[in-house]
Structure 1
Amino acid sequence: MKLSANLGFLWADRPLPDAINAAKAAGYDAVECHWPYDTPASETLAALRETDLTMLGLNTPRGNVEIGENGLAALPGREAEARAAIDEALAYARATVTGAVHVMAGNCSGPRARTAFVENLGYACKEAARDGITILIEPLNHYNAPGYFLNSTGQAADIIREIGQANLRIMFDCYHVQIMEGEVSRRLENLLPLVGHIQIASVPDRGVPDHGELDYGYLLPRIAAMGWERPIGVEYLPAGSAETEISWMARYR
């Protein structure tokens, strides 16, 4: 089982190039991140080439974080800002040979929000297709992301089927899905044709994925048996040094 270090949480106290090097030293097979925009893309690319790691994905900018914004793509009347955020994310992805962009919906609800989200995702898919980039959407739970527009795998699947673009996929975060819906292995198996990336963390504390409600010792072999061969994203909140919390990885290899 290949594993990807999410550098939004792991080694988040270090500059992104240093975090990439730390992930390599810890034995990860790939990396992903949240918002890399403070680091010049040329520096990120240099670190990726030095370590021979691939950046799997990054997020679109959230908007005004000081007032709690968590994405723009589903906010009615903010289409110009949402598409500028999509353009910025795609430009960074192209410059760093990153394979996917997670388009963040934002905090909103209702039919107008859904219309805005669908239209902005259609734009994102068209722009991303030029460079073979996948667009991801991720259902988030109401505890960590109260008010977030996208909160269930069924909702995400309906939107993907409506838009009908081959490069639009679900980011299936087992942590969020377990909290909101449960039945993680069955849902993942049913949705696998629509899934572009899988992430893991323990539930409910979002710590190292070796304890809690979800038994990854069972789930990860099930995922492999489904035919999944790409790296699994490790997106947990370290209790201490990420270097000292890698013994669990051997069990899942």
Structure 2
Amino acid sequence: MLRLSANLGFLWTELPLADAIRRAKAAGFDAVECHWPYESDPLAVRAALEETGLPMLGINTRRGRTGIDNGLAAVPGREAEARAAIDEAFAYGARIGAGRVHVMAGNAFGIDGARETFEANLAYACDIAALNAMGVLIEPLNHRDAPGYFLVDLALAADIAGRLARPELSLMFDCYHLQITGGDLLERFRAHRRIVGHVQIAAVPSRAEPDGGEVAYERLLPMLEAAGYEGYVGAEYRPATTTEAGLGWMARFGR
């Protein structure tokens, strides 16, 4: 059965994180995930997770400077900041019981040394993940939404994961971003299934509720399951109006 995760970086953002977790449970989600929860009391967040029984699948490393950075891990010369962000994410994640940390690469597209910097920081993150029984995610983003982002290509992400060959490291297969950067979602998923750790969805091109746009998720997601995916599907979309008003899409998946 398809298991759905509410991305609380976009859903119920008007609520404190602990209350958003409770609202996700009431709406019928099976798990939650978020972006940058660091301003929320980890004890309150963990209490809400324990109360609802929802797993926290993952969180992101901080972006860096507001309005300038989009992660730090691939940016040469900022290794100390990147590793501080990695340390912070795993420390917070361990306190709330999160499963993975998405290590954000940053705006380093075309910069000499970016790949080497990213790989070194990912190896560092994997070491920290192993100590905490957690995982590391990397995610290709599209340049329309994230101009200049280092990791835009799925093949590059897979090559980096293969080169590092760390069991803690896997790929975020975000259907929204990957549809924009090449489409052919089912075949690209099949080609990279072995290293896919998480799947996310949103309408393309609006990034609103996933029952609109050019990707028919009601057909695609069962195909991903048939291809061997057994994880959660993260609803990482921006509601067209309010979160509650847009939840009708879940009925297509039996909720």
| Same fold? TM cut 0.5 | yes
Corresponding position of 1:217: 218
Q: How does 1:173-252 map to 2 (within 5 A)?
A: 173-252=174-253
User: Structure 1 CA distance, aligned partners of 2:228 and 2:183?
Assistant: 21
- The CA RMSD measured in Å over matched residues stands at 0.9
CA contact (8 A) 2:7 2:34 kept: yes
Greater displacement, 138-147 / 224-233: 224-233
CA contact (8 A) 2:176 2:202 kept: yes
User: Structure 1 CA distance, aligned partners of 2:236 and 2:107?
Assistant: 22
Unaligned runs of 5+ in 2: none
Corresponding position of 2:157: 156
CA contact (8 A) 2:197 2:231 kept: no
User: Structure 2 CA distance, aligned partners of 1:251 and 1:176?
Assistant: 22
> SS in structure 2 opposite 1:245?
helix
**Deviation per residue, 1:149-173 (Å, 9 max, x gap):** 0001101001001111011011010
1:147 pairs with 2:148: yes
Q: How does 1:14-163 map to 2 (within 5 A)?
A: 14-66=15-67, 68-109=68-109, 110-163=111-164
User: Structure 1 CA distance, aligned partners of 2:161 and 2:135?
Assistant: 12
TM-score (norm 1): 0.97
> SS in structure 2 opposite 1:14?
coil
Deviation at 1:196, TM superposition (A): 0.6
User: Structure 2 CA distance, aligned partners of 1:11 and 1:88?
Assistant: 24
Deviation at 1:229, TM superposition (A): 2.1
CA contact (8 A) 1:79 1:116 kept: yes
> SS in structure 2 opposite 1:119?
helix
**Deviation per residue, 1:162-192 (Å, 9 max, x gap):** 1110110110100000001110111011101
User: Structure 2 CA distance, aligned partners of 1:18 and 1:178?
Assistant: 32
Q: How does 1:159-174 map to 2 (within 5 A)?
A: 159-174=160-175
User: Structure 1 CA distance, aligned partners of 2:199 and 2:52?
Assistant: 23
Give percent identity, aligned residues only: 55
**Deviation per residue, 1:5-52 (Å, 9 max, x gap):** 000000112110111111111110000000000002111101111111
> SS in structure 1 opposite 2:200?
strand
Which amino acid in 2 is paired with 1:7? L
CA contact (8 A) 2:72 2:104 kept: yes
Deviation at 1:111, TM superposition (A): 3.7
User: Structure 2 CA distance, aligned partners of 1:71 and 1:56?
Assistant: 19
Deviation at 1:244, TM superposition (A): 2.2
User: Structure 2 CA distance, aligned partners of 1:45 and 1:217?
Assistant: 32
Deviation at 1:228, TM superposition (A): 1.8
User: Structure 2 CA distance, aligned partners of 1:46 and 1:217?
Assistant: 33
CA contact (8 A) 1:72 1:78 kept: yes
**Deviation per residue, 1:82-130 (Å, 9 max, x gap):** 0000000000111111101000000013341111100000000011011
User: Structure 2 CA distance, aligned partners of 1:19 and 1:9?
Assistant: 11
